[in-house]
Amino acid sequence: MSLLELSAITKRYPGVTALDTVDLTVEAGAVHAVVGENGAGKSTLLKLVAGAERPDAGEIRWDGAPVTLASPRDALRRGITVIYQELALVPTLGADANIFLGMELARGGALAADAMREAAAKALAELGLFIDPAQPVSRLSVAQRQLVELARALVRDARLVALDEPTATLTAHEVAHLAAQIESLTAKGIAVIFVSHRLDEVRRVASRITVLRDGRRVWTGATGEVDEAALIRHMVGRDVAYRRHAAGRPPDPAPLVAVRGLTRAPAFHDVSFALRCGEIVGVAGLVGAGRTELARALAGIESWTTGDVTLAGAPYRPRSPRDAIARGLAYLPEDRQRDGLVLRFTVRENITLPVLQRFAAHGRIRRAAETLAARAAATAVDLRPSPPDVERPVTLLSGGNQQKVVMAKWLLTDARVVVFDEPTRGVDVGAKVELHRQIRALADAGKAVLLISSELPELLALADRVLVMRAGRVAGALAGEALTAERVMALAVEAL
Amino acid sequence: MRRDLVARYGVVIALLALCAGAALFVPGFLALGNLTTILLHVSVNAILALGMTFVIVTGGIDLSVGSLIGLAGVLSAATLTADGTLAAVGVGGATVLAVLVGTGAGAAVGAANGALTAYGRIAPFVVTLATMTVARGAARLVTGGVPIGFPLTGDPAFAQKSAALDALHAVGGGRIPVPGLDRGFPMPALIMLALVAAGAFVLTRTRFGRYVYAIGGNEEAARLSGVPVQRIKLGAYAISGGCAGLAAILLVGQLRSAGPDAGLLYELNAIAAAVIGGASLLGGVGTAWGALVGALLIGVLNNGLDLLGVQSFWQEIAKGAIILLAVTFDVWTKRGHHHA
C-alpha cells in the first residue's frame, strides 16, 4: 500500500489548468522526484499535498484511505511537511523556537524552553548540524536553515516530507550533505517528494522520477531506466543540450577592466584578473567562496579595503551603484525578485528605471519615447509572447521572462561591463538556452562579460575563461583544453 | 478584470454612494453652498494627505505634520504681524513673506525628517515622532503658549496689522465670485485642487514620482538600478512638510490667528485619508487623487452627520469604521490577484 496516492488530480486557476489529471504515488521510505520546467505544475502539486489548495477533481489517498487535506494544519497533523524554497522560518527566533513553532512544549502555561532547546539540538545533531539552537536563524546559512526545517519535520514525526527546489542555492558540498540527510530520512521509513531543476541531483537522490509538462504527467519510472538527456527530452518535449556558444569575434587585446589584489577580508582576498571587451569570463566556486561579494564590490554596492581596479585605463572605485552605472558597469543580481525587479511595476517601468533621465525633460517623463525604448529592449531579449506587451505587470511573467526583463533593463544602460550573478537560476531549460544566446550576443557586441554561475555546464557552454574561487581567493584560472568540469570542481573544493 | 476596476475605483464608488445617500436622506446636503463648505472644510486635511501620500508611497510615515501646522502657523503669523517686517516691506510684502516662511519652515522640518530617515537610517516612525514633539514644543515656545492673532486696540500699528491679517485671510478664507454661487468658491478649496493636480502630475508623470514608487515597491532593486534613494526620500518628506506649511497658512488665514496647539492630531486624519484613498502603509501604492477622495469621504461623512445633528462622538466612530472598511476592502481586492 502506498503512503500517498494522487489519482487523476486536476486543478484549475482562472485561465489556466495548472494540473490536468495527474497521478502520483509515493511509497514510504522512498524518494520520489518531480521534475519539469517552470510552469509545469510542480508548485501546484506541492500546494495540494501541503493542504494549501484543494483539487477541483481527482482523489487523494493517504495511508490507503481517501482524504481531504483541508488546510496546511490538517496536512501537518496527518504527518505531511512541505519545505518550500522560500523557507518558512522566523529569522529573529532561534532554531529551537522555529522547530517548535505552533507546537510548543509548555508546563503549567510557561514555555519549557530548556526541554525544547535540548530536543531541538538533538534533532539538529541527527541531521549533522551542530549549532547553538538558541541563536537566531538569520545568522545561519541557507543550507543550515534547510536542516532546521528538516529537524522540524523530524520533531513533528512527519511521515512524508516534500522539498521544493532544496538545492537551488546550495553548494556542491552542502548538496551532498542534504542528500545524505534525505537518505537517513528514508531509512526511518519517511517518504520524500523531491522537486528540483537539477537533474544530476534528482538522479542521485531519487529512486523514482515523475516528469510534468504543461500540467500533465508525461513520464514516471525508476531512476535507473532513464538518463539525463532523456529526462530533458521528457521535460521540454524536444532535445535540448547546452550547446557551446562559440565567440563570434576575438576579444580585444587590451583589458577593459583590470583588477589587482582586490581584498576585503574575510569575503575576498587578493583577487586579480583582467576582463577584455568581447570575452566572457566565468567565475566558478562554491557558495560562500566570495563570488557575489566580489561582484557587489565591483558594482559599488559594497566597498573594498585594498587593491585597485582600472576601467578603460582610468582608476575605478564606485561609491554607489549609481556611480557604477554611470561608469558603464551593470550588475544583474542573483535574486531578481528581491534585488532586480520592482514587482509592482510593469515591464516598461522596470526596464527604464536605470535610464529614466534619458526620457525625462526637466523631470517630466516623455511616455512615448519611454515606451518605444522599453519595447525595443524587450524585443531585443526576445521577451515572450512576442511582440512583447510592455504594459504587463512583471509579477505575471514566468521566471525566465522576468530574467529577460532584468537583462533588457541593463541592456538599455549601454554598459561596457556586464556582471551576471547566477543569471539562469530557477529558470526553465528552454529559457536558459535563450538566455545563454543573449549573453554570448552581448560579448559579441563588444561588451566585457563577467559570469558568475554555480552551474558548470553553463560556464562550459559560455565562458572563454573560468576563474575558480575558493574561500575568497582565486584558486586558479582555466581556459581552452584545460577548461573541464572536473578541473573546475577540483579547484573549487580542494582542501585548504 | 472586473475586480481590478472595482479595486481601482472602489473608493470613488463609495464616495459617490455616500453622496447619493446623503442627497436622499440629509436635507440641505445637496445645496451648492453646503457642497462648497465641504470642500473648504476638507482642504487642510486633503493637502496634508497629499503630502502624506508621497511619504507613504516610499514606505514611510510622517507623524510630524500636525505639529508642523502649529509651528509653521505661528511662525508665519509672527512674521506677518512683526513691526519690523511691516515697516520694511509693507502689507503686501509681509503677506508674501509670511507664506514663504510658513511653507519654508514646514519644508525644512520635512527635509530634516527625510535626512534623518534616509541618511541616518532611523525608522521614520521614530524620527517623525521626535520632530512632532519638538515642533509642538517650539510652537509653544515661540508664542509663549498663547495664540498670535488680532492686534490689541492700543497697538500703534493696529491698522497695518489688521490689513496684513486681512490679506492672509483672502488666501485662507477668501471666496472667488462664481455666478450662481451666493458666497463664491472658497480659495483654500481651489488651492487644494491645484495642489492635488500638481501632486498627481509629479507622481505619475515625472522621474521623481516614478522613483518614489520604485523605492516603495522595492528599495533594493531601486538602489541597484541607480535610483538616488536617499535624495528621493528626502524630497518626499520635504514635500510632506511643505504641504503641512501651506495648510498651516490656509488655517491661519481662515482664523486670522495662529495658535500653537493648532493641528493637534491632524497627522492621524491625514494618514486616514491617504489610506482610505488607497495608499498602502507597506509602500509602493497610493495616488494623489486617492488622497483627495479619502479626505472627501471623511468630509462628506462628517458633514452629513453634522446636518443630521448626530453627536460628534458618533462621527468619530463612523470615521474609524470607514477606515476599517477601506482597508478590509483593499485586502479583499488584493486577494483576487493571487490566482490571476
> Is the minimum CB–CB distance between A13 and chain B shorter than 8 Å?
yes
Measure in Å the smallest separation between the Cα of A97 and chain B Cα atoms: 27
CA A93-A95-A99 angle, 5° bins: 100
DSSP output for B311-329: -HHHHHHHHHHHHHHHHHH
Domain CATH code at residue A362: 3.40.50.300
pLDDT, tens digit, 9 for 90 and up, residues B176-196: 998 888 888 999 999 999 999
Sign, Cα dihedral of A470, A474, A476, A480: positive
Contact (CB, 8 A) for B218 and B58:
no
Residues A203 and A329 in one domain: no
Residue A384 falls within a domain, yes or no?
yes
Nearest to B243 by CA among B295, B274, B211, B199: B199
Q: What is the mean pLDDT of residues B258-284?
A: 93
What is the reported pLDDT for B340?
A: 33
Domain range for A20? 4-236
Residue B311, class by beta-carbon neighbours within 10 Å (0-12 exposed, 13-18 middle, 19+ buried)? exposed
Contact A340 B226 (CB under 8 A): no
Residue A411 falls within a domain, yes or no?
yes
What is the four-CA torsion angle of B273, B276, B278, B280, rounded to 10 degrees? 80
Pairwise CA distance, residues A386 & B228, whole Å? 33
Measure in Å the smallest separation between the Cα of A213 and chain B Cα atoms: 20
Nearest CA in chain B to A348: B210
Residues A209 and A353 in one domain: no
Nearest CA in chain A to B226: A322
pLDDT, tens digit, 9 for 90 and up, residues B198-228: 999 999 999 999 999 999 999 989 999 899 9
Residues A170 and A275 in one domain: no
What is the four-CA torsion angle of A356, A362, A363, A369, rounded to 10 degrees? -40
Instruction: Give B241 or A196, the one with higher predicted confidence.
Output: B241
CA dist list (Å): B74 to A181, B98, B209: 70, 10, 31
Task: Give contacts of A357 with chain B, Cβ < 8 Å.
Answer: 207
CA A206-A209-A213 angle, 5° bins: 140
Residue that finishes a domain, picked among A236, A270, A299: A236
| Interface probe, candidates B3, B204, B218, chain A, greatest A C-beta count within 10 A | B218
Q: Look at residue A239 and tell me whether its pLDDT is greater than 60.
A: no
What is the reported pLDDT for A483?
A: 87
Instruction: Give B72 or B328, the one with higher predicted confidence.
Output: B72
pLDDT, tens digit, 9 for 90 and up, residues A112-158: 888 999 999 999 998 888 889 988 888 888 888 889 999 989 888 89
What is the reported pLDDT for B217?
A: 92
What is the reported pLDDT for A496?
A: 35
User: If you ran DSSP here, which 8-state letter would residue B283 be given?
Assistant: S
Distance from the first to the final alpha carbon of chain B: 9
pLDDT, tens digit, 9 for 90 and up, residues B27-76: 999 999 899 999 999 999 999 999 999 999 999 999 999 999 999 999 99
Average pLDDT of chain A, as a whole number: 88
Q: Look at residue A396 and tell me whether its pLDDT is greater than 50.
A: yes
Contact B213 A342 (CB under 8 A): yes
Q: What is the mean pLDDT of residues B280-303?
A: 94
Instruction: Give B307 or A36, the one with higher predicted confidence.
Output: B307
What is the reported pLDDT for B1?
A: 46
Contact A353 B227 (CB under 8 A): yes
What is the reported pLDDT for A46?
A: 93
Nearest CA in chain B to A15: B340
Pairwise CA distance, residues A409 & A402, whole Å? 11
Residue A246 falls within a domain, yes or no?
no
What is the reported pLDDT for A493?
A: 65
Residues A350 and A275 in one domain: yes
Residues A108 and A226 in one domain: yes
Pairwise CA distance, residues B238 & B240, whole Å? 5
What is the reported pLDDT for A173?
A: 83
Number of domains in chain A: 2
Residues A364 and A425 in one domain: yes
Measure CB to CB from residue A363 to each of B207, B228, B337 and give the nearest one.
B207
Measure CB to CB from residue B214 to each of A324, A333, A342 and give the nearest one.
A342
Residue A486 falls within a domain, yes or no?
yes
**% chain B with pLDDT above 90:** 65
Q: Look at residue B281 and tell me whether its pLDDT is greater than 80.
A: yes
| Interface probe, candidates A356, A391, A394, chain B, greatest B C-beta count within 10 A | A356
Sign, Cα dihedral of B209, B212, B216, B219: positive
Residue A418 falls within a domain, yes or no?
yes
pLDDT, tens digit, 9 for 90 and up, residues A311-338: 999 999 999 999 999 999 999 998 887 8
* pLDDT tier for residue B114 given thresholds of 50, 70 and 90: very high
Q: What is the mean pLDDT of residues B140-152?
A: 86
What is the reported pLDDT for B227?
A: 92
Q: What is the mean pLDDT of residues A12-31?
A: 87
Nearest to B276 by CA among B337, B239, B318: B318
Measure CB to CB from residue B224 to each of A301, A363, A364 and give the nearest one.
A301
What is the reported pLDDT for B325?
A: 86
Contact A353 B284 (CB under 8 A): no
Number of domains in chain B: 1
* pLDDT tier for residue B334 given thresholds of 50, 70 and 90: low
Q: What is the mean pLDDT of residues B253-277?
A: 93
Nearest to A371 by CA among A394, A345, A348: A348
**Pairing mode, if any, of strands A160-164 and A80-83?**
parallel
Contact (CB, 8 A) for B65 and B240:
yes
> Is the minimum CB–CB distance between A396 and chain B shorter than 8 Å?
yes
* pLDDT tier for residue A433 given thresholds of 50, 70 and 90: confident
Measure in Å the smallest separation between the Cα of B195 and chain A Cα atoms: 17
Pairwise CA distance, residues B252 & B259, whole Å? 8
* pLDDT tier for residue A15 given thresholds of 50, 70 and 90: low
Q: Look at residue A245 and tell me whether its pLDDT is greater than 90.
A: no
Contact B218 A353 (CB under 8 A): no
Q: Look at residue B337 and tell me whether its pLDDT is greater than 50.
A: no
pLDDT, tens digit, 9 for 90 and up, residues A166-202: 876 677 788 888 999 999 999 999 999 999 867 788 8
pTM above 0.95, yes or no: no
Domain CATH code at residue B68: 1.10.3470
Instruction: Give A394 or B7, the one with higher predicted confidence.
Output: A394
Contact A14 B222 (CB under 8 A): no
Q: Look at residue B19 and tell me whether its pLDDT is greater than 80.
A: yes
Q: Look at residue B15 and tell me whether its pLDDT is greater than 50.
A: yes
Residues A173 and A205 in one domain: yes
Residues A324 and A221 in one domain: no
CB atoms closer than 10 angstroms to residue A391? 12
Q: Which residue has the cell 554596492?
A: A301
Nearest CA in chain B to A344: B217
Q: What is the mean pLDDT of residues A40-67?
A: 92
> Is the minimum CB–CB distance between B339 and chain A shorter than 8 Å?
yes
Instruction: Give B158 or B119, the one with higher predicted confidence.
Output: B119
Residue A293 falls within a domain, yes or no?
yes
What is the reported pLDDT for B338?
A: 41
Task: Give contacts of B286 with chain A, Cβ < 8 Å.
Answer: none
Residues A466 and A344 in one domain: yes
What is the reported pLDDT for A471?
A: 83
Q: What is the mean pLDDT of residues A439-456?
A: 91
Asked if the bond preceding A385 is cis, omega within 30° of 0, the reply is yes
Distance from the first to the final alpha carbon of chain A: 49
Task: Give contacts of A325 with chain B, Cβ < 8 Å.
Answer: 225-226
Which helix or strand (DSSP H or E) is residue B57 part of?
helix B32-57
Contact A342 B284 (CB under 8 A): yes
Average pLDDT of chain B, as a whole number: 90
What is the reported pLDDT for A444?
A: 94
Q: What is the 3-state secondary structure (H, E, C) of chain A?
A: CCCEEEEEEEEEECCEEEEEEEEEEECCCCEEEEECCCCCCHHHHHHHHHCCCCCCEEEEEECCEECCCCCHHHHHHHCEEEECCCCCCCCCCEHHHHHCCCCCCEECCEECHHHHHHHHHHHHHHCCCCCCCCCEHHHCCHHHHHHHHHHHHHHCCCCEEEEECCCCCCCHHHHHHHHHHHHHHHHCCCEEEEECCCHHHHHHHCCEEEEEECCEEEEEEEHHHCCHHHHHHHHHCCCCCCCCCCCCCCCCCCEEEEEEEEEECCCEEEEEEEEECCCEEEEEECCCCCHHHHHHHHCCCCCCCEEEEEECCEECCCCCHHHHHHCCEEEECCCHHHHHCCCCCEHHHHHHHHHHHHHEECCEECHHHHHHHHHHHHHHCCCCCCCCCCCCEHHHCCHHHHHHHHHHHHHCCCCCEEEEECCCCCCCHHHHHHHHHHHHHHHHCCCEEEEECCCHHHHHHHCCEEEEEECCEEEEEEEHHHCCHHHHHHHHHCCC
Residues A231 and A260 in one domain: no
> Is the minimum CB–CB distance between A418 and chain B shorter than 8 Å?
no
Domain range for B117? 2-339
Residues A370 and A413 in one domain: yes
Pairwise CA distance, residues B56 & B216, whole Å? 8
All 3 cell numbers of residue B87? 515697516
What is the reported pLDDT for A398?
A: 79
Residue A197 falls within a domain, yes or no?
yes
Residues A143 and A271 in one domain: no
